[in-house]
Structure 1
Amino acid sequence: MENLLNKIERVPKDKKLIVFDLDGTLVETKSSLDDETAELFGQLLAQKKVAVIGGASFERFRKDLVDRLNVSPELLGNLFLFPTTASSFYRYDNKWIQVYSEEFSKEQKEKIMDAFEKAFKEIDYVRPEKTYGEIIEDRGSQITFSALGQDVVAELGEEGIKLKKKWRDENQGLKLKLAGILQRYLPEFEVRAAGYTSIDITRKGIDKEYAIRQIQKHLGVSIEDMLFVGDALFERGNDNAVLRTGIMCFEIKEVEDTKELIRYLVK
């Protein structure tokens, strides 16, 4: 595809807004921004507007991204956060302000939880012997299943990341099957296999294409002036939906690739 790039030298430096995926792109899964990325990210904020989209909650965006930055409040004004797969949006004006949030109703949450129970029974799902934190987390505008629990990386650090990668390698087919069954039970919602061990559920139509449209609407930046950076732009990857907008995309494989791109952009 013409708008999908994987060579840095082909990336235009004149884009006004850079849009990043979070997990697997800016940080390792459920980890914090490392020192080098934080420094580079701050340099980028001094030159361009930056948006970050991810399935994580706003609280995790604060802890693992914002709190790792050493930048002025003025530069935070160039940072725009789209947690829970852009079902919510936050911008900075002396404090973080919620612009919108597509919250589930109590009845919708109950229907989703019931669908999980039915889907688990249908595939005879057996939970891992040990899990860490909630398996199904209510993030207000998104409900997320995480096979090893939401806190595996917080509790185990690097070992937790290894466990998540191991589970993904052994159970990717199972996760995709579970997501497909959930979508059948929940046709009026959006169900996505995300990250290493997760399945995210949001209102229908809320995906990363929706995120780009919201960025365009709220920030007044044309899609032609944006660059999207992500690690899952492949077919059925949870970044793939952005390609439908025509946005120019740069595909990375790991966080080190993102660092290299930012160095190139700020040079």
Structure 2
Amino acid sequence: IDDTAALARLHVLPTCGTRYLVHDGGEWSEVYSEPLTDDESQRAARAVEESARELGLWEEHTWGDRIELRGSQVTFSALGQEAPVDAKAAWDPDGAKKEKLRAAVAEQLPDLEVRSGGSTSVDITRKGIDKAYGVN
């Protein structure tokens, strides 16, 4: 964004609202961050991989990383982060695969929030931390 005044009004809530960033026209400032502990991140990564394998959703061919540890969020992308849009659309057109995976992971991680993310992804964060939390 070239307009410094507009940039100074920019607020960003990445990773499901687990972080809140503002721009003052010169640089970014972090208002808050709700990171997962190392234990939470590792448990989340393990649960999503185990569940995906058990459900037959661990794809052999992927485009990039399947599991990302993002500090405040763990994201599973069934086809990888770099998957083309057409492959994502074809993988789970009705969302049933992703919902089965989300439910299986949520059962293993009752202390964390497990949400459907993009067309092939499941996101895991702290409970109660979402974009509404950030806005309030």
Specify if TM > 0.5: yes
Residue 62 of structure 2: which of 117, 131, 135 is its match? Answer: 131
Paired residue for 1:195? 118
CA-atom RMSD in angstroms: 1.6
Paired residue for 1:166? 90
Counterpart Cα distance in 2 of 1:163 and 1:106: 32
Q: In terms of Rg, which structure is larger?
A: 1
Counterpart Cα distance in 1 of 2:80 and 2:53: 19
**In structure 2, the residue corresponding to 1:169 is in which secondary structure?**
coil
**Percent of aligned pairs sharing the same letter:** 39
Paired residue for 1:183? 106
Q: Please identify runs of 4+ aligned residues in structure 1 that moved more than 4 A.
A: none
Q: Deviations over 1:203-247 (max 9, x none)?
A: 01122332332xxxxxxxxxxxxxxxxxxxxxxxxxxxxxxxxxx
- Structural mapping, 1:94-243, within 5 Å: 94-127=26-59, 129-152=60-83, 160-169=84-93, 172-213=95-136
- By how many angstroms is 1:166 displaced? 1.3
- By how many angstroms is 1:181 displaced? 0.7
- By how many angstroms is 1:146 displaced? 0.6
1:102 aligned partner, one-letter code? E
The count of residues paired between Structure 1 and Structure 2 equals: 135
Change (3 A) 1:146 1:91: same
Query: TM-score, length-normalised on structure 2?
Result: 0.90
Counterpart Cα distance in 1 of 2:99 and 2:86: 20
User: Is the Cα contact below 8 Å between 1:85 and 1:211 reproduced in 2?
Assistant: no
- By how many angstroms is 1:126 displaced? 3.7
Structure with higher helix content: 1
1:116 aligned partner, one-letter code? V
Paired residue for 1:26? none
Change (3 A) 1:188 1:196: same
